[in-house]
Amino acid sequence: MNANKLKKFKDYILDLLYPRHIKCIFCGNELNENSYNDTCEECMNSLPFITHSCLRCGAPVGDDNSGVCLNCKSSNFDFKLARCVFSYKDKIISVIHKFKYNRMKFLSEPLGKFLCEYFATWNINPDIITSVPLHLSKLKRRGYNQSECIARFLSEKYNIPYYDLCVKIVDNISQTELDLKQRKENVKNVFKFNNEYKKEVKDKTVLIIDDVYTTGSTCNELSKIILSAGAKEIYVLTLAHGLGNQKI
């Protein structure tokens, strides 16, 4: 079986296992005419969209706050601004988990659409879209890079070129269990610029896409690398913000 046929066969099997556009991606209930973007009405009304965010990093903040969160007051980021669509809680945790670890690649479409809708409301004009790379060994294990999938979805929808600007050269330990200081250390020297794109990136505005933003250490490290390669400025957009409601 050639690669193309094999891919079609795999998609066919996946369709049988996880019927698309039939069940809600969050709760599994049947979709109906009130459903939107593969999401049932009930889930749509209860998704933790971020309505008020830190002006710098996009962390969810209370309705009455308008400024930067505590984390941003004490950190200096190399990217200009970051924004997130959802708070990383409730149904968002399980759907991102399925997307990352359960080979449910088809989720890149509805999740990518939520990302696109946020992007449409954000007044920035990137020249290039990129994503947080995975180390090759993890990519092989997982089958795809979830952040790249949603980034490519955005790139196609808005006709903005997508490039893998950075590569991950060290398979470091997961950031999940680390504190802020350890996270910063853990991402040092694990990425490098993909010199193939040196010309493309010169004086350009770059948008980095990731699935979950926690302390910003990973995106900050990538921003440093992309800026040193000649980019003008960097923005970050992620599906979810991993820190709870921040005080201002």
Q: Which long-range contacts (CB under 8 A, 24 or more apart) does 167-176 make?
A: 167/133, 167/191, 167/192, 167/194, 168/133, 168/134, 168/135, 168/136, 169/135, 170/135, 171/135, 171/137, 171/138, 172/135, 175/214, 175/215, 175/217, 175/218
Scanning 13-21, 28-36, 107-115, 207-215 for contacts with Zn ion by CB under 5 A, the matching segment is 28-36
- Least Å distance, CB 237 to Zn ion, is 14
Token pair for residue 93? 């945790």
27 is an interface residue for Zn ion by CB under 5 A: yes
Look at the block and give the residue holding tokens 């709760």.
Answer: 27
Beta bridge partners, 131, equal 209
- The footprint of Zn ion on this chain (CB under 5 A) covers a number of residues equal to 12
State in angstroms the smallest separation of the CB of 227 from Zn ion.
20
User: What strands lie across the sheet with 128-131, from one edge to the other?
Assistant: 81-87, 233-241, 205-213, 128-131
CB 57 within 8 A of CB 71: yes
Task: Give the chain's end-to-end CA distance (angstroms, integer).
Answer: 58
Calculate the CA 58 to chain-centre distance: 13
Interface pick for Zn ion out of 50, 61, 72, 95 (rule CB under 5 A):
72
Least Å distance, CB 46 to Zn ion, is 9
Q: Is position 40 an interface residue for Zn ion (rule: CB under 5 A)? A: yes
Assess 77 for contact with Zn ion (CB under 5 A). no
Kindly state whether residue 50 participates in binding Zn ion, applying the rule CB under 5 A. Answer: no
Contact flag: residue 229 with Zn ion (CB under 5 A): no
Q: Which is nearer to Zn ion, 26 or 163 (CB)?
A: 26
Told to check if 107 binds Zn ion by CB under 5 A, we report no
Which C-beta is closer to Zn ion: that of 50 or that of 178?
50
- Shortest distance (Å) from residue 215 CB to Zn ion: 10
Q: Which stretch binds Zn ion (CB under 5 A): 43-51, 145-153, 206-214, 229-237?
A: 43-51
Residues that bind Zn ion (CB under 5 A): 24, 26-27, 29, 40, 43, 54, 56-57, 59, 69, 72
